[in-house]
Amino acid sequence: MKRHLVIRLLTGLLCLWLAACNTLGLQKPQVSLVDIHPAASTLLEQNFDLTLRLQNPNRLPLTASGLSFELTVAGQHLANGVSNQAISVPALGESEIKLRVHTALGSWLKQLGKALQGDGKLEYQLQGRLEGLQGIASLPFSSSGDWKLP
């Protein structure tokens, strides 16, 4: 009986705490793709190092235990990625994070062909989630834009 009461009490306190956190009114960070560099690759798998810029519009610093994301280029899925790298963005500030993504040869060659046929720009969409935000939650993010081949 006591055990059930303690569990209910802890559950209630957790719900109140999460509701209070929600009323803090944290705005989503802006995430943008800064750079893409080729990394060590094999014939069937290409690796790229992405640099993302995270901008924090909040008056509180943001910390996260990692992130997960999906990268779409020219309307085609290119890569998924995860990172357990700790992320810290100062209040009203920004920081950059480097990530490694893996792509299959076929999907990367399609994207490269599209870029070479056009003006060298690739339209991208980046969607993901900051995981373990402030130690308790996750927060989605999305970004889109054009990336020009070097």
Q: Which tens digits make up the pLDDT trace of 56-108? A: 998 989 889 999 999 888 787 888 888 899 999 999 999 999 988 888 776 66
Q: Which domains does the chain have, with CATH numbers?
A: 27-148 (2.60.40.1820)
* Arithmetic mean of pLDDT, 38-63: 87
Note the pLDDT tens digit of each residue in 95-132.
999 988 888 776 666 666 665 666 667 788 989 988 88
What distance in Å separates the CA atoms of residue 103 and residue 122, rounded to the nearest whole number?
A: 16
The pair of structure tokens assigned to 128 is: 């993901």
Q: What is the DSSP string of 65-98?
A: SEEEEEEEETTEEEEEEEE---EEE-TT-EEEEE
Q: Are strands 94-104 and 87-89 parallel, antiparallel or unpaired?
A: unpaired
Tokens 């062909």 appear where? Answer: 113
Mean confidence (pLDDT) of the chain? 78
**Confidence tier at 23 by pLDDT (50, 70, 90):** very low
With DSSP H G I counted as helix, E B as strand and the rest as coil, what are the percentages for the chain, rounded to 5? Answer: 25, 55, 25
